[in-house]
Amino acid sequence: MKEETLQSDAALDNRITVRALESSDMDAFAEIMSLPGVRRGTLSVGYRSPEQLKAWYERRLKGGVNVCASIGGRVVGHAGLEVHRPSRAHCAHLGLAVHDAYHGCGVGTALLQGLTDCADASLGLRRIDLTVFTDNAPAIALYRKFGFVEEGRSRGFALRDGILTDVLHMARLVDAPRLQAI
């Protein structure tokens, strides 16, 4: 995926740059994943070291796409697509996290725009699914903005703050491209 710079929706002096996540980004990635808002808003376990995240990144997402967003050279968000194989090669699972201090600044929009463009134009993906806590209204609104719809709800799906919490299962399904006559 080529590097892409998008102007933020919020009044920021800097641009949001979306690029491929690299091994050298693991310190910043670990910092983001350990923030209170990220830990509470995602189904990921926080407090992982850069080494643990690098091992996870290399093991689990080899066939996927991982991007990060930066503002002024600082990594402020991460998103990834875990591509399914082989009978579900048209599908991927989405994960996204934005630094607590940059919510509402267009980082999530920039990350999702980059990933959905890549999914549609380069990977040939037709379905992207995700799981989100039912009370995460900003994330749900963002996903709906990109065409994700609710497919179901799981009660008591994940433990958060010692309480079993409900999640929504959402997906974005796009039509297969039509062949154009030459």
Question: Any idea where the domains of the chain sit in the sequence?
Answer: 4-130
The answer to whether residue 179 scores a pLDDT higher than 80 is no
The predicted model scores a pTM of 0.85
What whole-number distance in Å separates Cα of residue 147 and Cα of residue 129? 11
> 32-36 — which CB contacts under 8 Å span 24+ positions?
32/75, 32/76, 32/77, 32/78, 32/97, 32/98, 32/99, 33/78, 33/97, 35/99, 35/100, 36/100
Per-residue pLDDT band at 86 (split at 50, 70, 90): confident
What pLDDT score does 12 carry? 46
Segment 134-149 shows an average pLDDT of 98
CATH architecture of structural domain 4-130:
3-Layer(aba) Sandwich (3.40)
β-bridge pairing 91-98 and 127-133? parallel
What pLDDT score does 182 carry? 55
